[in-house]
A and B are shown apart, each in its own frame.
Chain A
Amino acid sequence: MSTLDTTAPTEDLPAAGRPKPKSQGGGFARYLLVRFLLIFPTIFILVTLVFFLMRTTGDPITAAQGGRLGPEALAELRAAAGFDRPIFIQYVEYLGQIATFNFGETLTTNRPVLEVLATYGPATFELVFYSLIVAFLVGIPLGLLTAYYRDKPQDAVFRVLAIYWYAVPVFFAALILKLIFAVWLKWFPVAGRASVSAELQMQVLPNKTGFYTIDALMTGNPEVLTDVLSHAVLPAIALGLLTAGIFLRLVRTNVIGTLATDYVDAARSRGVGELRLLRKHAYRPALIPIVTVIGLQIALLLAGAVLTETTFEWKGLGFILVEFIESRDYMAVQGIVVMLAIIVAITNFVVDIIAAFIDPRVRY
Chain B
Amino acid sequence: MTAASLTPAPKRRLRDRLPVVHHLRQSVGLQRGMLVAGLVLLALFIVCAVFAPLLAPYGFAQRGDAEGTFGTQQPPSAEHWFGTTVGGYDVLSRVIFGAQTAILVVIVAVVLSLFIGVALGLYAGYFGGWLDKLMVVVFDAIYAFPSLLLAIVLSIVISGGQSSLWGGVLAAGGSIVVVFIPQYFRVIRAETVRIKAEPFVESAKVLGASNSRIVFKHVFRNATRTLPLIITLNSAEAILTLAALGFVGFGIEPTAAADWGYDLNKAQSDVTSGIWWTATFPGLAIVLAVLGIMLVGESLNDLADPRLRSRRRVAQAAGEVAETSVVPGGTLAAGPGGLGGLEDGESFDEHGIEVKR
* A residues lining the B interface (CB < 8 Å): 41-42, 45-46, 49-50, 53-54, 56-58, 63, 66, 151, 153, 155-156, 159-160, 163-164, 166-169, 171-172, 175-176, 178-179, 183-184, 190-191, 246-247, 249-250, 253, 256-257, 260, 289, 292-293, 296-297, 299-300, 302-303, 306-307, 310-311, 321-322, 325-326, 328, 330, 333-334, 337, 340-341, 344-345, 348
Question: Of A303, A311, A330, which one neighbours B146 at CB under 8 angstroms?
Answer: A303
**Which chain B residues numbered 230 to 259 have a C-beta less than 8 Å away from chain A?**
236, 240, 243-244, 247-250
Contact check, B348 vs A293: say whether CB atoms are below 8 A apart. Answer: yes
Contact check, A296 vs B350: say whether CB atoms are below 8 A apart. Answer: yes
Chain B residues whose C-beta falls within 8 Å of the C-beta of A63 in the assembled complex:
156, 160-161
Contact check, B144 vs A296: say whether CB atoms are below 8 A apart. Answer: yes
B105 at the A interface (CB under 8 A): no
Chain B residues whose C-beta falls within 8 Å of the C-beta of A306 in the assembled complex:
146, 148-149, 248
Contact check, B249 vs A172: say whether CB atoms are below 8 A apart. Answer: no
Residue of B nearest to A304 (CB): B148
Chain B residues whose C-beta falls within 8 Å of the C-beta of A41 in the assembled complex:
137, 141
The distance in angstroms between the C-alpha atoms of A42 and B140, with both chains bound, is: 8
Additional A-B contacts beyond A299-B350, A333-B153 (19; CB < 8 A): A41-B137, A50-B153, A53-B157, A54-B153, A54-B157, A63-B161, A156-B33, A168-B283, A171-B244, A172-B287, A175-B267, A176-B280, A183-B274, A256-B307, A257-B307, A300-B350, A321-B152, A322-B248, A333-B156
The A interface is mostly helix, strand or loop, or mixed, namely: helix
The distance in angstroms between the C-alpha atoms of A275 and B352, with both chains bound, is: 25
Could you tell me the distance in whole angstroms from the C-beta of B282 to the nearest C-beta in chain A? 8
Chain A residues whose C-beta falls within 8 Å of the C-beta of B124 in the assembled complex:
none
Could you tell me the distance in whole angstroms from the C-beta of A103 to the nearest C-beta in chain B? 14
**Which chain B residues numbered 108 to 167 have a C-beta less than 8 Å away from chain A?**
137-138, 140-142, 144-149, 152-154, 156-158, 160-161
Count B-side interface residues using an 8 Å CB cutoff.
59
Contact check, A167 vs B350: say whether CB atoms are below 8 A apart. Answer: no
Question: Of A159, A167, A292, which one neighbours B236 at CB under 8 angstroms?
Answer: A167
Chain A residues whose C-beta falls within 8 Å of the C-beta of B267 in the assembled complex:
175
Contact check, A175 vs B268: say whether CB atoms are below 8 A apart. Answer: yes
Contact check, A296 vs B346: say whether CB atoms are below 8 A apart. Answer: yes
The distance in angstroms between the C-alpha atoms of A57 and B174, with both chains bound, is: 15
Contact check, B286 vs A169: say whether CB atoms are below 8 A apart. Answer: yes
17 residue pairs A–B, Cβ–Cβ below 8 Å: A41-B137, A41-B141, A45-B137, A46-B145, A57-B156, A151-B310, A164-B287, A169-B247, A171-B247, A257-B307, A289-B348, A296-B144, A303-B148, A307-B148, A310-B248, A328-B161, A344-B144
Chain A residues whose C-beta falls within 8 Å of the C-beta of B153 in the assembled complex:
50, 53-54, 333-334, 337
Q: A179-B276, A325-B248 are in contact. Are A337 and B144 (CB under 8 A)?
A: no
B201 at the A interface (CB under 8 A): no
B34 at the A interface (CB under 8 A): yes
The distance in angstroms between the C-alpha atoms of A297 and B286, with both chains bound, is: 22
Instruction: Name the residue among B248, B291, B298 with the largest chain A CB count within 10 angstroms.
Output: B248
The distance in angstroms between the C-alpha atoms of A41 and B161, with both chains bound, is: 30
B272 at the A interface (CB under 8 A): yes
Contact check, B274 vs A303: say whether CB atoms are below 8 A apart. Answer: no
B279 at the A interface (CB under 8 A): yes
Instruction: Name the residue among B141, B161, B244, B352 with the largest chain A CB count within 10 angstroms.
Output: B352
Could you tell me the distance in whole angstroms from the C-beta of B131 to the nearest C-beta in chain A? 15
Q: A167-B291, A175-B279 are in contact. Are A289 and B144 (CB under 8 A)?
A: no
Chain B residues whose C-beta falls within 8 Å of the C-beta of A66 in the assembled complex:
160
Chain B residues whose C-beta falls within 8 Å of the C-beta of A307 in the assembled complex:
148, 244, 247-248
The distance in angstroms between the C-alpha atoms of A326 and B251, with both chains bound, is: 11
B264 at the A interface (CB under 8 A): yes
Could you tell me the distance in whole angstroms from the C-beta of A294 to the nearest C-beta in chain B? 10
Contact check, A292 vs B346: say whether CB atoms are below 8 A apart. Answer: yes
The distance in angstroms between the C-alpha atoms of A104 and B271, with both chains bound, is: 36
Contact check, B144 vs A299: say whether CB atoms are below 8 A apart. Answer: yes
B290 at the A interface (CB under 8 A): yes
Q: A184-B274, A300-B146, A340-B146 are in contact. Are A326 and B249 (CB under 8 A)?
A: yes
B312 at the A interface (CB under 8 A): no
Chain B residues whose C-beta falls within 8 Å of the C-beta of A334 in the assembled complex:
153
Contact check, B141 vs A45: say whether CB atoms are below 8 A apart. Answer: yes
Chain B residues whose C-beta falls within 8 Å of the C-beta of A325 in the assembled complex:
152, 156, 248-250
Q: A247-B352, A325-B248, A326-B249 are in contact. Are A303 and B287 (CB under 8 A)?
A: no
Contact check, A160 vs B34: say whether CB atoms are below 8 A apart. Answer: yes
Residue of A nearest to B139 (CB): A45
The 6 closest A-B pairs by CB, nearest first: A303-B148, A172-B283, A167-B290, A45-B141, A167-B291, A303-B146
**Which chain B residues numbered 286 to 327 have a C-beta less than 8 Å away from chain A?**
286-288, 290-291, 294-295, 298, 307-308, 310
